[in-house]
Amino acid sequence: MAGIPKELIRNRELTVGLAGNPNSGKTSLFNHLTGGFQHVGNYAGVTVEKKWGRLRGPHGPMHIVDLPGTYSLNAFSEEERVARNFLLRDKPDVVVDVIDASNLERNLYLAVQLNELEVNLTLALNMMDVARGEGFELDLQRLGELLGAPAVETVGHDGRGIPKLSAMIRDAGLRELEPRRVDYGDELECEIEALTEMLVPTDDLIFPARYAAIKLLEEDPEVHDAVRECCANLEAIEQRLEEAIENLARYFQDPPSILIGDRRYGFAAGIAREVTLRTPRPDRVTQSERIDGVLTHRVMGVPIFLAFMFGLFSLTFTLGDPMMGMIESLFNWLGNSIDGVWPAGRHEWLHSLIVDGIIGGVGGVLVFLPNILLLFLGISFLEDTGYMARAAFIMDKLMHRFGLHGKSFIPMLIGFGCTIPAIMATRTLPSKRDRLVTMMILPFISCGARLPIYLVLIPAFFPRGWHAPLLLGLYILGILLGLVMAKILGKTILRGEDTPFVMELPPYRLPTRRSVLLHVWQRSWMYVRKAGTIILAISIGLWILMSFPALPEEGAIPNHGGDDSAALKAQKLEYSAAGRIGRAMETLTDPLGFDWRINTALLGALAAKEVFVAELGIIFSLEESEGESLRLREILRRNYTPLQGVSILIFCLLASPCMATFSITRRESGRWRYAFLQWFGMTALAWILSLLIFQIGSLFIT
């Protein structure tokens, strides 16, 4: 920053990058700094792409970018590439390395690499409350001196230290760079210096020359490609590099990449020892370790996890149903109020559009909002405590048996909310084969969009005591079928070697009210926004299909109950475009126990799963006779049997992913064939299982 007036720097907007290891609390600090609605989850890999926000107030303005959590900058994974490319190409004014103070030595490895990139570094020693609780005491001033970067302590979950951190970031924009170099030893340093001198004249190289020399010795492919593109003396550099790698490997009996990594770790370990004033006793057992002794027990771990899930689903029904009934009554009152004031015989099509299409469609989805809120609240609480990371650890052995990477559990967990971000989260997996296998089976996980279908069908056909077990059973069935398909894919079209899984278990924490509520708000608002936009548009479109063409007067059945009789309304609906499509589909769906009305609702579910419920609401609103106002569950119970209900549930669990999932699978896999295979494969499986259930069940139920 030399040569730039300090007042100009002080008043301009700084660009700040937040870097750090997974589970260091980086995203929590981001939320406190910006007040943003960034998702916070207490497990590795939650941040797949960089997110940004603005810091205002006394130390602003600042443009803050939350980078993916990463252990290093070696660019072997997607997170490392995103983080390193941002640091090199966007050149932030300040980089804040968020360090887990209770795991200082491991976290300092990234700080050492950031120093090698010659960025303007500031250290945020986060989770100091956890570190002190475990018996650690650190000398932050000495740490800053050894790394040439100021250090401040923070507690991300409650915002302690945030004002001091923001002030330090602003001050960091005024200071000269003082990076501390790792001494790699005489033999390595000789080769590093020689390569650095050869790279210095290259103006177009985005990497600092010394850093590029080190990465060339580590055989980093991205750095090598960059050198090839912009160095005029490429032949001389490659010749010297080849000789250096060969000589060092012969001398040390290890490749330079191993030697350099060892020296970095040694440097980080030395700093950690130097600044640690007090450490816990070797025989000290932490609170997290005591809890893990129970929750991750090799025998009881899985039953405990299932018990947590059963309790969560029971709560979803027990507490959600009364609130759902109130919202349902509100929409019924709204529809009846419009009926009461609407002039008879005036613009009947508009009346039907508002009451049947909009209120019946969107209202039929929004009534399930309390259940959605409760489910997301429970999952958010378990995520933020750190328990869901343990669930991944518990499931690791099972995942490997089915050919999945243990870390695949994280996208699967995200999939309980929505399949779209879950598929995007597969970027955190180490190999293309692992990403593809996980991506292909994620739609088997019951997302939030399927929950309204379960919440209307299960209570419609089964007594209250069966509600939670059946809901849990559907979730488990989806997971098990997904695992089976992963095994089949891994043995056929996606064959490959399993990669090892090492997952860090974060300490248990009591979630803050703010973080849990932000998490719930983000997911719930997405659901409400979808109901008010996508589902509204689809509901109107399908209402048009259900209302036109109109039934000719001469084609109507004899009217015994007035123009609005249920029989006449049913005939009008069946005559419409949607009714005809539903009838045409009966050749395929009649063996499953579906009629044309279920087929018509399934058409809407192609765009978004929640639309299935909305369309059932529209269909039965259009078919309902005057003065008869039954809840959708009661109507379904009157028109279908429990066996048909089970068949519909299984089909909705497994059939064709929504169009957004199809699109994101195509984008993330890079191939149309994977998206089509997923869509047609799941639909075929749904048809076969529903067929077996209905036909075999019909043999025993007369």
Domains in the chain: ranges and CATH = 8-172 (3.40.50.300), 303-328+369-491 (no CATH)
Question: Looking at per-residue confidence, does 526 or 122 come out higher?
Answer: 122
Taking each continuous run of H as one helix and of E as one strand, the counts in the chain are 33, 8
Local confidence band at 57 (pLDDT 50, 70, 90 cut-offs): low
Specify the pLDDT at position 504. 60
Say what percent of the chain tops pLDDT 90.
20
Question: What average pLDDT does range 219-228 have in this prediction?
Answer: 84
On whether the CB atoms of residues 662 and 679 are closer than 8 A, the answer is: yes
Q: In this model, does residue 9 exceed pLDDT 60?
A: no
| CA–centroid distance for 80 within its chain | 18
Distance CA 412, CA 43 (A): 13
Q: Are 480 and 441 in contact (CB under 8 A)?
A: no
Q: Given pLDDT bands bounded at 50, 70 and 90, which one contains residue 288?
A: confident
Q: Does 549 sit behind a cis peptide bond, omega within 30 degrees of 0 on the bond before it?
A: yes
The three-point CA angle 479-482-485 to 5° equals 155
Distances (CA, A) of 82 to 25, 49, 79, 401, 605: 19, 7, 5, 31, 35
Residue 418 scores a pLDDT above 90: no
Q: What percent of the chain has pLDDT above 70?
A: 86
Model-level pTM?
0.66
Q: Who's near 259: CB < 8 A, 6+ residues apart? A: 184, 185, 188, 248, 252
3-state secondary structure of 319: helix
In this structure, the number of other CB atoms found within 10 A of the CB of residue 575 comes to 17
| 672 CB-contact burial (10 Å; exposed 0-12 / middle 13-18 / buried 19+) | exposed
pLDDT at 577: 87
The tokens for 237 are 């550099």
Phi/psi of residue 699, nearest 5 degrees: -70, -30
Distance of CA 538 to the CA centre of its chain: 25
Question: At residue 470, does pLDDT exceed 90?
Answer: yes
Residue 47 has pLDDT above 80, yes or no: no
What is the per-residue pLDDT for 680? 95
Mean pLDDT is highest, among 214-218, 221-225, 526-530, for 214-218
Please give the residue that has the higher pLDDT: either 210 or 571: 210
Q: How do residues 674-702 score in pLDDT, each as one tens digit? A: 999 999 999 999 999 999 999 999 998 86
The confidence score (pLDDT) of residue 179 equals: 66
1: pLDDT strictly greater than 70: no
Angle between helices 432-441 and 659-669 (to 10 degrees): 170
Say what the pLDDT of residue 626 is: 45
| Comparison of pLDDT for 82 and 256, the residue scoring more | 256
Taking Cα atoms as reference points, which of 631, 630, 598 lies closest to residue 615? 598
DSSP element (H, E) containing 315: helix 301-341
Query: pLDDT value at position 124?
Result: 94
pLDDT at 102 over 90: no
Sheet with 121-126, strands from edge to edge, namely 51-55, 62-66, 14-20, 94-100, 121-126, 151-153
Cβ contacts of 441-444, under 8 Å, gap ≥ 24: 441/404, 441/482, 441/483, 441/485, 441/486, 441/489, 442/411, 442/412, 442/415, 442/482, 443/415, 443/419, 443/657, 443/661, 443/678, 443/682, 444/478, 444/479, 444/481, 444/482, 444/485, 444/654, 444/682
pLDDT at 554: 53
User: Which amino acid does the sequence have at 324?
Assistant: M
At 632 the pLDDT is 83
Q: Kindly report the CA angle at 304 between 300 and 305, in degrees rounded to 5?
A: 120
Is-contact 470 462, C-beta < 8 A? yes
- The dihedral sign for the CA sequence 479, 484, 487, 491: negative
Taking 50 as the threshold, does the pLDDT of residue 563 lie above it? no
Average pLDDT over residues 247-257: 86
Helix (H, G, I), strand (E, B) or coil at 138: strand
Q: Check residue 588 and give its pLDDT.
A: 93
Of 344 and 626, the structure prediction assigns the larger pLDDT to: 344
Alpha carbon of 548 to those of 354, 576, 577, 583, 671: distances in Å? 16, 5, 6, 15, 38
Q: What is the reported pLDDT for 676? A: 94
Return the pLDDT at 625: 46
What pLDDT shows up at residue 50? 60
312-361 pLDDT, tens per residue?
888 887 888 888 888 888 888 898 899 888 988 788 788 888 887 788 77
Of residues 69 and 650, more confidence is placed in 650
Place of tokens 């589909």: 585
Q: Is the pLDDT of residue 410 over 80?
A: no
Of 105-114, 286-295, 498-507, the least confident: 498-507
Average pLDDT, the chain: 81
C-alpha–C-alpha distance, residues 459 and 324, integer Å: 13
Helix (H, G, I), strand (E, B) or coil at 277: strand
88 neighbors 207 (Cβ within 8 angstroms):
yes
Q: Indicate whether 142 pLDDT > 80.
A: yes
Grouping H, G, I as helix, E, B as strand and the rest as coil, residue 445 is: coil
* 306/546: higher pLDDT: 306
Strongest mean pLDDT among 113-127, 230-244, 405-419: 113-127
Q: Tell me the C-alpha distance between 352 and 334, whole Å.
A: 13
Distance between CA 325 and CA 702 in Å, rounded?
A: 33
Which position has the higher pLDDT, 546 or 562? 546
CA–chain centroid gap for 164, Å, is 31
Task: Say what the alpha-carbon torsion angle 35, 138, 509, 384 is, to the nearest 10 degrees.
Answer: 40
